Chain A
Amino acid sequence: MSKRDVLMEVENVSVTFGSGANAVEAVKNCSLTLHEGEPIGIVGESGSGKSTLARVMAGLQPPSAGQIRFRGDNVFKGNKSFQSGNRNQVQMVFQDPYGSLNPQLNGLSAVAEAVRIHTKVGKDEAEQKALELLERMGIGKLDALKKPRQLSGGQRQRVSVARALSANPTVLLADEPTSAIDQSAQAQLLKLFLGLLNDGLSIVLVSHDLGVIRYLTKRVYVMKDGVFVESGDTETVFNDPQEDYTKMLLASIPGELGKAARAKLKK
């Protein structure tokens, strides 16, 4: 098992919404590579196009130009994605914990449904597996039976992760998973992600917070107005940012990291 196996390739991808005078280019000619064992981060502010890029990688949005490949196979054929049966390999966790779960289903039902679809086991076995998965995510049996509105933002995110993991994916795309939850819930979720990384899952983390990116990823792509302005090893970009925009992002991180970056800026 080569650590440098290429899992996903984004090649010259552009995404344009609308047409003619109203056309908006959300993503402009972006390229990146996801290697096994090397979690990557895509960092940028709202409107940078990072969420659109994540959705393209997840097969939810066809690119207007360029290719996405998963293990060498094109993800998109026309507007349809993952036709060759790899659909379960690339899963996604969405930003808004309040809209990520079907309000009518409790955590157990939501995850069990996913388990049943992907492993074709019976109802009882699926529920058992679902409970185990939820337990791994720190959601106990009592909470698993609660409907989403009875759970906190952090708990909802963890149920979403459990659901995504039911598909047994190789790649997990996380679009701003920590933005809408408490600091303590953030820490729990990030610790969870770290555990998953150590278990062999490849994660693509999209965020506006470089602090979170620094904690989890090995490689980072800085995105502004649809374009990658800087990319490289996370530590290197952190300690020695080249672009002004990257420096500005670093300076905005709350707490110690931001302080250090701001001190450097003043020099």
Chain B
Amino acid sequence: MTSDVKLLDVNNVAIGIERRKRETLVLVREANFDVNYGEMVGIVGESGSGKTMICRSIIGTLERRGASVIGGEVLFEGLDLRTINEAKWKTLRGKVIGYVPQSALAGPNPVLTIEKQLAEALSQVEGTGSMKNRSKELLDLVKIRRVDTVMKQYPYQLSGGMRQRVMIACALASKPKLLIADEPTTGLDVTVQSQIMELLREIRSDLGTAIILISHDLALVDEVCDKIVVMHAGATVEVGPTSSMSKPRHPYTVALNSSRIDVAKPGGELITIKGNPPSVGQWNPGCRFAERCDYVQQDCLVGDHPALSGKKGEHQSACLHADKIGKI
């Protein structure tokens, strides 16, 4: 489904927290990507890369943490999300934009039965049929068997994978146009992970929901997403269609790709990225990956962090020497 208006357009977005003494701590320096209707976009990065903050700017929960968008724009179907008030957010959040949190950190309300959770999510939306039937349909959608049993259970009686499915079901209650899944499978077994990925894929193809999948696992994102956004130290360093990302053009992506366990020889050399991801706010001048980069040059260490080359929709890279990288 092509349209001139993109579902989501994140343009040069910067996010910061105002600290005392009027200093602003910049958490995200420059995020740049877009999401088309029905597209599955993966955002990959280490902790501290800013991927969760961007997530929060799209569902409007930045303020609660004292942060705000300090630059750029977040356009949802053309609407600038920075300008809307809380009342408007309520019509978007949980309705048109859905959110599934990290499985280890959050989950269904422990004191409500699954039936009540779903009813709560469904009560926000209009629909036909009884609440019970609609709830059962949702559980069906996320491929939960023994629906009648599960409806009456409490979250503690379910496995991690089942709880995540329930969270996805709640998010889908309103048939959102955009679903944000923030590390939905981190901490879960690989078998459960692959089932949930399969589920997300089906949701995308059957319901046409666009999905933003946030992960630290490049192999995972590579398999299911149409487009990949790579974040490092608060900036988008590479973005492009998955097919062309197999030939990465930024040293960070190259390193992430090479450190994948699924492509390593058993007992053989495993390429790792030097050092640790820079802590939030402790960013050096020049390119923030320079310290850990295998191809670093002199001009990488000075000036501003490099901007993304090319246009949105193409394979863009924030490396000053991107063309040389392609040849390695």
Contacts and interface: CB of A to CB of B under 8 A. Distances in A.
B318 to A, nearest CB: 18
A221 B139 CA distance: 35
B262 interface: yes
Nearest to A191: B270
Interface in B213-270: 216-220, 222-223, 255-256, 259-264, 266-267, 270
Given A45-B191, A180-B187, A257 B216 contact: no
Given A180-B187, A182-B216, A215-B267, A257 B262 contact: yes
Given A211-B261, A249-B191, A183 B267 contact: no
A186 interface: yes
A125 interface: no
A186 B159 CA distance: 25
A217 to B, nearest CB: 8
A145 interface: no
A73 B273 CA distance: 42
Contacts of B194: 251-252, 254, 258
Nearest to B222: A255
B259 A187 contact: yes
A155 B275 CA distance: 10
Given A254-B217, A255-B223, A215 B189 contact: no
B190 interface: yes
Contacts of A191: 270, 272
A215 B190 contact: no
A185 B49 CA distance: 14
Interface in B126-141: none
B267 A256 contact: no
A187 B271 contact: yes
Contact of A215 (B217, B255, B270): B270
Q: Which of B195, B271, B276 lies at the interface centre, i.e. has the most chain A CB atoms within 10 A of its CB?
A: B276
Given A253-B262, A254-B262, A255-B260, A183 B159 contact: no
B46 interface: yes
Given A194-B270, A256-B263, A45 B256 contact: no
Contacts of A214: 266
Interface in A239-267: 248-249, 251-259
A179 B187 contact: yes
B262 A252 contact: no
Nearest to A95: B187
Given A179-B187, A215-B266, A254-B262, A184 B193 contact: no
Contact of B272 (A47, A188, A253): A188
Of A45, A47, A183, A257, the most chain B CB neighbours within 10 A belong to A183
Interface string A197-238: 000000000001111101110000000000000000011000
Interface residues of B, number: 38
A46 interface: yes
B262 A255 contact: yes
Contacts of A252: 189-191, 193-195
A152 interface: yes
B160 to A, nearest CB: 7
B284 interface: no
A183 B218 contact: yes
B137 to A, nearest CB: 27
A209 B47 contact: no
A153 B266 CA distance: 24
B277 interface: yes
Interface in A154-199: 154-155, 179-180, 182-188, 190-191, 194
B160 A46 contact: yes
A187 B291 CA distance: 18
A214 B265 CA distance: 9
Given A183-B216, A254-B262, A46 B189 contact: yes
A254 B277 contact: no
Nearest to B46: A182
Contacts of A208: 189-191
B169 to A, nearest CB: 21
A154 B273 CA distance: 13
Given A183-B217, A187-B270, A152 B190 contact: no
Interface in B146-178: 159-160
Contacts of A188: 272-273
Given A152-B276, A252-B193, A252-B195, 4 more contacts: A215-B266, A235-B266, A254-B193, A255-B263
11 contacts: A152-B277, A184-B277, A187-B270, A187-B272, A208-B189, A212-B261, A234-B266, A254-B217, A254-B220, A258-B262, A259-B223
Interface of B: 46-47, 104, 159-160, 186-187, 189-195, 197, 216-220, 222-223, 255-256, 259-264, 266-267, 270-273, 276-277
